[in-house]
Structure 1
């Protein structure tokens, strides 16, 4: 395998890692315009063509591993392109009956849409860089982007942790009765209202309403806390997966360098053999001429 091919493989794997991260946040981004989708689809096909020069499939898919191949991504991207043109949604029910997606049901295909859109964005960005005359990104460039993405995820994780701490503190204060209108104070007011010197029925209803609001708020805090912890777990898992993938890429790169060095040594040896063969042939020709002259 030559160095260009190894570069394509590394580009392919780095893009895979970055796209998987971006797919999780695709819903919060400005959607591509119809014209951009057209350009992105063509760019995706070209990017896959570059990758195929490496003569290697991106990862090995096992049975039950619901990852799209390059051709399947292009098919989904094409369906998405047509849906955007006609202002409709992608018919994943129909796509799941296609022989090209026999391992996927409609829900699995629908789950792949953010990933395919992220791939379209990445391909469009790459093609624009190429069209502007900028060199294609190397494996080092992709590694820098991975590091930057890890730093961004770390900041997000820190923000999640801070929010969780604040929510837990608010929850503890609610349970401890520290808010100005705590459950204990409300209950005391209700008991006072039951006595002969009780306030009006309107005030009693207001107190009951405040109790319900406090209880609802406490439940919302707990639910939001649980949701944030789930998001934090997903972020941590994504970072760990990305680090593992980067180590694999580096290991593959080291192996490829060793193979290149071995090929260079073999090539040098072959050149020496060819040179020696030419010298021996020349000597044999001279000797043959000398014998002919003496005869």
Structure 2
């Protein structure tokens, strides 16, 4: 861990930083100066754990942290418990090539995931941009074998994220042999990738429509989601929770895919909860915080709602 951090006073002139709420600014400074933050600008951490350190509720810290993420000032892989600050090295560059070589120790402290690969790629690009000596030091510390490992992890991550969607598509065989078979296989893969994107878009549209109907103004108290603006961001959010959503759909409806009914029932369940429907009350100093689409489609929130609904149903039966 690096003992000292540099904070550029010009941060107070930065439009993104100034657009944050006071809680989000404090959460960002907490991450920037956290004892666990490595010299690469990334660390192993969880939102509930950081909230406990701040003596905040997980919901309050999650909202503040989410603001920083939405502005591109922080990154988070919830499943791997990894948090990163994209601009960390810009203000905390390595003092010498030997420091770059010491990054090996820092990278070993980070959990394996796609975000870790991005952190390492970003560090390599930064070191290479400083000077030949720094670039050489990085190449010696992280040899070419890392490139193959990086590619394998990327493929594994994509396979994991897309498996739930892929299972909903019809299977396609490949006939023929040789070059013709290779071309046919490539075409089928491209077509399947297109189908996956279309299916993700459909699931996202169904989720947004159900959220707006059950919780958003004017019928509800929460901010409505625009159907087209920010669409890519919403699709990525839905993609992160889609594996859990499919598991719940399998349990609740006996379905191998996620029906529109799933989202209608899920957000209707959220609407019955004062904390999740915007009624509150929300304790100081977070009186102004309210849930939103991003918060309610987090995997941990979805699991809490499902567990509570299951418990309530079991109590009724009993």
Range of TM-score over shorter length: under 0.3
**Could you say which structure has the larger radius of gyration?**
1
Q: TM-score under structure 1 normalisation?
A: 0.24
* TM-score (structure 2 length as normaliser): 0.23
Which structure has the highest helix share of the two? Answer: 1
Higher relative contact order (CA 8 A, sep 6+): 1
